[in-house]
Structure 1
Amino acid sequence: MYRFSILLILFLGISLSAQAQDGNFNSGARSLGMAHANTTLSDEWAMFNNIAGIAGQSQYSAVAGIENRYGISSFTSMSAGFLAPSKIGNFGISAFRFGDNLFNQSKIGLGYAHEIGLFKLGVQVNYLQYSIETLGSKGLLAVEVGGIAQITPELFFGAHIFNINQAVLSPETGERLPTLMKAGLSYRPGDKITLSVETWKDIEYPASLRAGLEYKILDKLPIRTGIATAPFHQYFGLGFAPKNFRIDYALSNTSRNLGLSHSFSVSYLLNR
Structure 2
Amino acid sequence: MKYAKINSNLFFTSRVKFLKNNGVFLIFFLVSSSLAGQFHFSNSGGAHFSGMGRTGLSVAGIGAMYYNQAGLAGIKNWAADVSYERRFNLEDLTSIQISGAKKFGFGTFGLMFSQFGSELYNEQQYSLAYGRQLSERITLGGMLSMFGFHFQNTGEARYTGSFSIGSSLKLDRHFMISAHIFSPVSIELSDNNQLYPRFRTGLTYSPSEKVFIYAEVEKELSREQWEFKFGLSYNVIKTLMLQTGINPNAGFYSFGIAYQVFSKCTIRGAGGVHNVLGLSPAISVSYGE
- CA separation of 1:246 and 1:195: change in aligned 2, threshold 3 A: same
Distance 1:126 1:228 in 2: 27
Tell me the residue number matched to 1:47: 65
SS in structure 2 opposite 1:41?
A: coil
Q: Residue by residue, what CA displacement relative to the aligned partner does 1:186-218 show, whole Å, maximum 9, x if unpaired?
A: 011221001000001001121111000000110
Moved more, 80-89 or 127-136: 127-136
Are the aligned partners of 1:23 and 1:180 in contact in 2 as well (CA < 8 Å)? no
Tell me the residue number matched to 2:129: 111
Task: Give the deviation of 1:85 after TM superposition.
Answer: 0.3
Tell me the residue number matched to 2:35: 13
SS in structure 2 opposite 1:189?
A: strand
Are the aligned partners of 1:34 and 1:226 in contact in 2 as well (CA < 8 Å)? yes
Are the aligned partners of 2:60 and 2:71 in contact in 1 as well (CA < 8 Å)? yes
Tell me the residue number matched to 1:145: 165
Distance 1:101 1:12 in 2: 19
Task: Give the deviation of 1:255 after TM superposition.
Answer: 1.3
Are the aligned partners of 2:41 and 2:125 in contact in 1 as well (CA < 8 Å)? no
Distance 1:154 1:126 in 2: 33
Instruction: Find out whether 1:65 has 2:86 as its counterpart.
Output: no
Amino-acid identity (%): 25
Tell me the residue number matched to 2:189: 169
Q: Residue by residue, what CA displacement relative to the aligned partner does 1:53-73 show, whole Å, maximum 9, x if unpaired?
A: 101321200100110012210
CA-atom RMSD, angstroms? Answer: 2.0
Are the aligned partners of 1:28 and 1:45 in contact in 2 as well (CA < 8 Å)? no
Distance 1:89 1:123 in 2: 12
Task: Give the deviation of 1:8 after TM superposition.
Answer: 6.8
Distance 1:71 1:12 in 2: 22
Query: TM-score normalised to the size of structure 1?
Result: 0.90
Distance 2:209 2:250 in 1: 32
Q: Residue by residue, what CA displacement relative to the aligned partner does 1:119-152 show, whole Å, maximum 9, x if unpaired?
A: 0001110000011003221000011000001011
Are the aligned partners of 1:142 and 1:166 in contact in 2 as well (CA < 8 Å)? no
Query: TM-score normalised to the size of structure 2?
Result: 0.85
Distance 2:30 2:78 in 1: 37
Distance 1:245 1:177 in 2: 35
Matched residues, number? 259
Tell me the residue number matched to 2:5: none
